[in-house]
Amino acid sequence: MPRETPTFRIAVLAGDGIGPEVTSAAVAVLHAVGERFGHAFATEPALIGGAAIDATGDPFPAATRAACDQADAVLLGAVGGPAWSDPKAPVRPEQGLLALRKHLGVYANLRPVKPHPATLAHSAIKAEVLEGVDLLVVRELTGGSYFGRKERHADRAVDVCEYSIGEIERVARQAFRLARTRRGKVTSVDKANVLETSRLWREVVSRVHREEFPDVVLEHQLVDSMAMHLIARPRDYDVVVTENLFGDILTDEAAMLAGSMGLLPSAALGEGAQGLYEPIHGSAPDIAGQGIANPIAAILSVAMLLRHSLGLHREAAAVEAAVDTILEAGRRDATRRPRDLGGTAGTAAIAMAVLAALPPMTPARPADSPFPAIALRD
Ligand code: NAD
Ligand code: IPM
Ligand code: MN
């Protein structure tokens, strides 16, 4: 008798530009994990961003919302591009992504940055600065100026930045909880010397720390000097928590610690186990359609999906180990290194190499994972 395996449902929103290229590599890895570890993953493709505008006029159509609602997790490529960037266009691809994040309530965006030893030599930053760097940015994802009132007048424009106490408390708690599983330190980044929302941010983070997480070390850092310290002494940081816009900018900067934008994955989580997983990079219109995008950020997003939404820790670790093997193989061999790290290997070559580096079929084991999905709750 074949044993019963649960079917995990994954909505796949490939999006625009290199989104479909890196997503198909990531989905191939997901299915290979299914085969090798005995899981069934039902992937459900759905439209988002510019591709959705072209097909339906809406960057986050109702059918996509339904597919996401029914899914255990959502895997996204990237949205946007010059075809949809006319400032006078009534709707933009990026609005679809923001609507999706808001709809799923995924307010905590985990963006880990841990340079692989083999990539240090290919970074623009000195290897001695990068050695031992292991930080996790927790970016608030459903508030701030991204979602505030917007106005356009003949002679001026308005973007309102608003944060409630509740919105700050919940993301601060996630950051403190995560710090307890790591090196026990949180750096909260704001602009409290100028912005009222930042003064509230600092006040609320300090109180949550004092009342609920006194065992964690908390420091506050202004965002402008943080942009400098992140490059000058990145090893000093463990968990970095910050508001939506600062987190967006600082994590593209942090990608340079890892060596490239093509390496950084992310997980967006809310109160439940369901999550949204996407590389931190965009649709890269400058290289789209050429088969040269690095799929590693998307593949590592699959690892985060396996771990955080499905509770498949062993499988997540296997994907990460396969990526480590590929990066190690490219240390001295440019033909096995992705192009954004100075090599010549394209999207398919990297994806095939990751598939080959995954462990072989494992013997059948009980369908129920001994590990619960870690929803970041108590
Ligand atoms: P981008 O991240 O798309 O590209 C920045 C640079 O990094 C480019 O030179 C690009 O070629 C390179 N790059 C990015 N990903 C790469 C990969 N996997 N492999 C190799 N090189 C890679 O940022 P941008 O050019 O400022 O934005 C382009 C579009 O993407 C915009 O429309 C923007 O709104 C959108 N965007 C979407 C997301 C998302 O969907 N999550 C994220 C960021 C930007
Ligand atoms: C990201 C992107 C998005 C953001 C854009 C495309 C809306 O830059 O995911 O980092 O700013 O959040
Ligand atoms: Mn960004």
Residue 364's pLDDT is what? 54
- Whose atoms come closest to the Cα of 94: which ligand? 2
Answer positive or negative: Cα dihedral of 285, 28, 369, 300: negative
Active site residue 107: no
Q: 353: pLDDT confidence band, cut at 50, 70 and 90?
A: very high
Active site residue 163: no
Cα dist from 190 to 139, 216, 220, 227, whole Å: 12, 19, 8, 11
> Which whole number is the average pLDDT over 98-123?
96
pLDDT tens profile 267-291: 999 999 999 999 999 999 999 999 9
Ligand 1 interacting residues, C-beta cut-off 6 A? 18, 22, 78-81, 94, 97, 261-262, 278, 281-287, 293-294, 297, 340
In the predicted model, is pLDDT for residue 3 greater than 70? no
In the predicted model, is pLDDT for residue 348 greater than 80? yes
Q: Which mutation among 84, 92, 283, 301 tests ligand 1's pocket best, with the greatest number of atoms within 8 A of CB?
A: 283
- Whose atoms come closest to the Cα of 245: which ligand? 2
Name the residue type at position 377. R
79 Cα–ligand 2 center, Å: 9
> CA 184, CA 206: separation in Å to the nearest integer?
15
In the predicted model, is pLDDT for residue 168 greater than 80? yes
CA atoms within 13 A on the CB side of 143: 20
> CA 340, CA 77: separation in Å to the nearest integer?
17
In the predicted model, is pLDDT for residue 373 greater than 60? no
pLDDT tens profile 226-250: 999 999 999 999 999 999 999 999 9
Residue 378's pLDDT is what? 36
Let me know the angle formed at the C-alpha of 172 by 378 and 130, rounded to the nearest 5 degrees.
110
Active site residue 248: yes
In the predicted model, is pLDDT for residue 264 greater than 90? yes
Active site residue 191: yes
Q: 369: pLDDT confidence band, cut at 50, 70 and 90?
A: very low
pLDDT tens profile 129-165: 999 999 999 999 999 999 999 999 999 999 999 999 9
Active site residue 236: no
> CA 108, CA 137: separation in Å to the nearest integer?
10
Query: What is the number of the ligand 1 atom nearest to the C-alpha of 278?
Result: 41
Q: What predicted TM-score, i.e. pTM, was given to this entire model? A: 0.95
> Which whole number is the average pLDDT over 46-70?
98
Residue 4's pLDDT is what? 63
Using alpha carbons, select from 358, 353, 356, 349 the residue that is nearest to residue 21: 349
pLDDT tens profile 172-228: 999 999 999 999 999 999 999 999 999 999 999 999 999 999 999 999 999 999 999
